[in-house]
Structure 1
Amino acid sequence: MDPADASVVPPSPNSPSAASRRLLPWLVAVAFFMESLDTTILNTAVPTISAALGVAPLSMKAVLASYTLSLAVFIPISGWMADRFGTRRVFSTAIGLFTLGSLLCGISSDIHLLVACRILQGCGGAMMVPVGRLTLVRTFAKSDLLRTMSFVSIPALVAPMLGPIAGGLIVGYLHWRFIFFLNIPIGLVGLILVYKHLPDYRQAITPALDIVGLILFGSGIALLSYVLEIFGEHALSGREMSGLLALSFVLLAGYWIHAKGLPFPLLQLRLFSIRTFRAAVSGSFFTRLGIGGVPFLLPLLYQVGLGFTPIQSGLLIMPQAIASMGMKTIMPSLLRRVGYRVVLVSNTLILGVLLLVFATIGPGTPVWLIVLQAFIYGAFSSLQYSSMNTLVYADITDKDTSSASSIASTMQQMSVSFGVATAGLATAFFIPSTHSNAVEMVHGIHKALTALGVLTIASTMVFRSLKSGDGDDVSMHKVLHPGG
């Protein structure tokens, strides 16, 4: 039997119960929240942790980068792991590793041990997001997928906004170790719920793991992520940075050549021949180049330009989360009425314009206007992310869902790094001096936001390849679908 024709083995012994179907989105959303929050909550505590461990603050970059590198390396094999060992076992193992890593991070007294534990955390985090999405795609019909995915995407929008506030409160009123201990009760409850309610999907026959592809792609992605993490810090010379960047491209090109000659490569690059998949993944990547740096630039603008504290700055961004949750109620009907092409083209354009509007915020801007702009931006960014995430699976068959999930998650992780790096590059270009005063900083951030806004507007060209009927299977709710 050809593994490509192997059908997905459904949950045993029966299909998911109604209670499990209702609880599954909440379970996946909580896992997403844990993973997303962990990437931002630690930033606020860097000075405190470095002082406690007796190291320079710059040395803490290894603690932050090790998690990102671990994600980049292990996300590509998540789909194969789920197909081979089952979604329930892999997802529960991911939560277990993430929780264990959190515990070990919290009791670490040495920076080298902390880095090793962060790598363990990243192994778990790399499996949670793609396997969680894969389980949702295989549990719910495409007609129900938009509503479900829009719900579970909220944590990815909320967590980066709550992270700085939560980190500041924990460091200020508790102890930095509680940043990691916070994940332990959530992880333990999640493990219990996974064993009770998560469906266990797996492929009847799974091809052998592409070891060579894993080495080439994993090394290339890890090296590229590392270069992006240290970009702008002058830790390496320009020649060294260029050399590492060139080596990462050589490794990724080597994987592309290697994958073309295999029937079952690590990542099925042939999926990019599907118009909806290609537009969703590449469009998501290029759009995030523009808007991905907003969580980095806005706090800088509010704190340096307007003089707000980190907690006040976080509160100014909070309306984005409120709007994101509100948008999910009207999103399905909006996509059903106008279609993915119109929504993604127009919405990307609107986001670009909103970045240009953010570039007008200054000391004289009323707080209510900043809040209003944040609310509007949150609504449209929620629509953007949910539309792109669900369009990925519009024309994907059951046997390709795991590979599609791995590719989409890998590209999303890379786009986050690229987005922050792009924002940092733009800011460094317009603020060449590290000793610039507040007025110069605000002026430079305004120019950076303007450049990113123009870049976001230009990314609408990717979505123009879509046709009017693309994604209808996802946006059109089938009333007669059982359990819908």
Structure 2
Amino acid sequence: MSEIPASIPAVDPALEKTRKYLPWVVAVALFMQQLDGTIVNTAVPTMAESLKVASLSLKSVLTSYTIAIAVLIPLSGWLADRFGTKRVFGFAVAIFTIGSLACGLSLNLPMLVASRVLQGIGAAFMMPVGRIALLRTFPKSGILRAMNFVIIPALLGPLLGPLMGGLIVHWLPWRMIFLINIPIGILGLWLVKKHMPDHKGETLDPLDTRGFLLFGSGVALLSWVLEIFGEHRMDILGVSILAAISLLLIGAYFWHAKRFPQPLLPVDLLRIRTFRVSVVGGFVTRLGISGMPFLLPLLYQLGMKFTPWQAGLLVMPQALAAIGMKLLVQRILGTFGHRQVLVYNTILIGLMIAAFSRVGPGTPVWVILIFSAIQGTVSALQFTAMNSLAYADTSDAEASDASTIASTAQQLSISFGIAFASLVTAWFLGGIDRSDSETLVPALHKAYLLLGVVSIASSATFLTLKRGDGANVSGHGRATPATEGE
């Protein structure tokens, strides 16, 4: 695989060597990040027992990580232009590795959450800066091959993560799911030192500090409100006031972004219909999808008494099916178009999420595996369709900003989706012992039904698409003007 990028013509031996090894540098960091993002889910019940907290309370371990990424991703491009890709990427890998060590040494839930935030800080800069380095090192003719090489770890992480997490917590202390990142991080740092180019921006726009403070504080406060809501830490009036403040901060950012010359997130891109539908529709759809990787291990381990490694095996078909769908998605989109695919596939996703309400003690394993494979298939089609739609009508000059907004929205929707799934499950439990399978399984079943209904309802957001929307990337039909007023 290492010979793929090397076959691209280089101007001189030094550049040829950089092009040969740079995809490996980015791939190692991406593998570490993707593995960590999926390995934790299977370990949640074991971690909760060790830390003496309810399993649903560990949602903060997952959401704190994704929120840190969402808040800081918009800074990645500016920092890379200011300090150089080599320094920022090396910093990201080092911070992620130190955060992994801190997670493994954590003695309680607050320490673990703080350590996950540290990991999120590193993860927020790794892939965006790695992508910038690739774009500035390879000619356009070689970008696709280099990115295809790098994307392999993104597919292997979700495939190996759940099973590895289950095996580790079954045979070893759960802390090893984080400590396993240490040697990978050290390898990554060595590769950065040897082969990461140091690209800097030719011109540097001023940092939108006010926008960052408004957006970051608003998102962080709203996330914290979702964390405490329903857990009786604060009365409903206090929660409502904090929620209102967080929404005002986010609204103030939108007002600011329309007036600042170089805003942190240029929201004026939302005028493009295909981009707006991709971001907004994708956000709502992911609220239903994102909670499933958190809730399914609870059903399998606490409700159905499977071991952690068995639970990991039960979710592996999702990743395998997703890899298979990658081979078919272009043909499907070309045949049916983005509008039809997104409307009907979103409904299928909701039905599949709701179908897990029929899974419980006594359900044949083969049924669970089929459900898991179908969910992986429709989810992969959905994500690819939404992601490709986001860039269908954006210009080359807008691509970087569009990528930043889309990535930020995706991370926020994952975090809010986990919090929402945990919240509705806790609501259906009604304060009853959360480790009792006789009460947990019915509550999870009701949560799956509600998440399925939310996903089905989100299909309405894609009805605003026109028949030719996305044709620039799918080849289906004829493109129509995507900007309102055209």
TM-score by length of 1: 0.81
Per-residue deviation, 1:460: 1.4
Are the equivalent residues in 1 in contact too, given 2:45–2:55 (CA < 8 A)? no
Are the equivalent residues in 2 in contact too, given 1:324–1:381 (CA < 8 A)? yes
CA distance in 2, matches of 1:241, 1:460: 30
Give the match for residue 181 of structure 1: 179
Give the match for residue 407 of structure 1: 405
Per-residue deviation, 1:265: 1.0
Counterpart check, 1:457 vs 2:480: no
1:234-245 matches, within 5 Å, as 234-245=232-243
Secondary structure of the 2:360 match is coil
Q: Which moved more, 1:110-119 or 1:91-100?
A: 110-119
Counterpart check, 1:36 vs 2:37: yes
Deviations 1:320-375 (A, max 9, x none): 11111222122233323333223222221211121232222233432111111111
Are the equivalent residues in 2 in contact too, given 1:98–1:122 (CA < 8 A)? yes
Give the match for residue 90 of structure 1: 88
Indicate the structure whose relative CO is greater, using CA pairs within 8 Å and at least 6 residues apart. 1
CA distance in 1, matches of 2:318, 2:90: 31
Per-residue deviation, 1:212: 0.9
Give the match for residue 323 of structure 2: 325
CA distance in 2, matches of 1:104, 1:50: 15
The change in CA–CA distance for 1:29 and 1:98 in structure 2 (over 3 A counts) is closer
Are the equivalent residues in 2 in contact too, given 1:290–1:452 (CA < 8 A)? yes
Q: Which moved more, 1:311-320 or 1:75-84?
A: 75-84
The change in CA–CA distance for 1:455 and 1:471 in structure 2 (over 3 A counts) is same
Counterpart check, 1:470 vs 2:469: yes
Are the equivalent residues in 2 in contact too, given 1:287–1:459 (CA < 8 A)? yes
Give the match for residue 385 of structure 1: 383
Secondary structure of the 1:464 match is helix
Are the equivalent residues in 2 in contact too, given 1:327–1:382 (CA < 8 A)? yes
Per-residue deviation, 1:242: 1.8
Per-residue deviation, 1:288: 0.7
Give the match for residue 364 of structure 2: 366
Unaligned runs of 5+ in 1: 1-10, 478-484
Deviations 1:181-202 (A, max 9, x none): 2112212323344466666655
Which of the numbers 218, 222, 247 marks the counterpart of 1:220? 218
1:224-263 matches, within 5 Å, as 224-263=222-261
Give the match for residue 356 of structure 1: 354
What is the identity percentage for the equivalent residue pairs of Structure 1 and Structure 2? 48
Q: Which moved more, 1:148-157 or 1:243-252?
A: 148-157
Per-residue deviation, 1:467: 3.0
Q: Which moved more, 1:106-115 or 1:306-315?
A: 106-115
The change in CA–CA distance for 1:190 and 1:468 in structure 2 (over 3 A counts) is farther
1:12-23 matches, within 5 Å, as 19=20, 23=24
CA distance in 2, matches of 1:266, 1:315: 41
Secondary structure of the 2:233 match is coil
Which of the numbers 295, 298, 304 marks the counterpart of 2:296? 298
Unaligned runs of 5+ in 2: 1-10, 477-486
Q: Which moved more, 1:282-291 or 1:149-158?
A: 149-158
Are the equivalent residues in 2 in contact too, given 1:80–1:402 (CA < 8 A)? no
Are the equivalent residues in 1 in contact too, given 2:18–2:197 (CA < 8 A)? no
Per-residue deviation, 1:218: 0.9
Deviations 1:153-198 (A, max 9, x none): 9737954x75565445434433444333211221232334446666
Are the equivalent residues in 1 in contact too, given 2:43–2:169 (CA < 8 A)? no
Give the match for residue 263 of structure 2: 265
Give the match for residue 483 of structure 2: none
Secondary structure of the 2:464 match is coil
Per-residue deviation, 1:244: 1.8
CA distance in 1, matches of 2:349, 2:146: 22
Q: Which moved more, 1:252-261 or 1:35-44?
A: 35-44
Are the equivalent residues in 2 in contact too, given 1:80–1:403 (CA < 8 A)? no
Per-residue deviation, 1:61: 7.7
Are the equivalent residues in 1 in contact too, given 2:44–2:55 (CA < 8 A)? no
TM-score by length of 2: 0.81
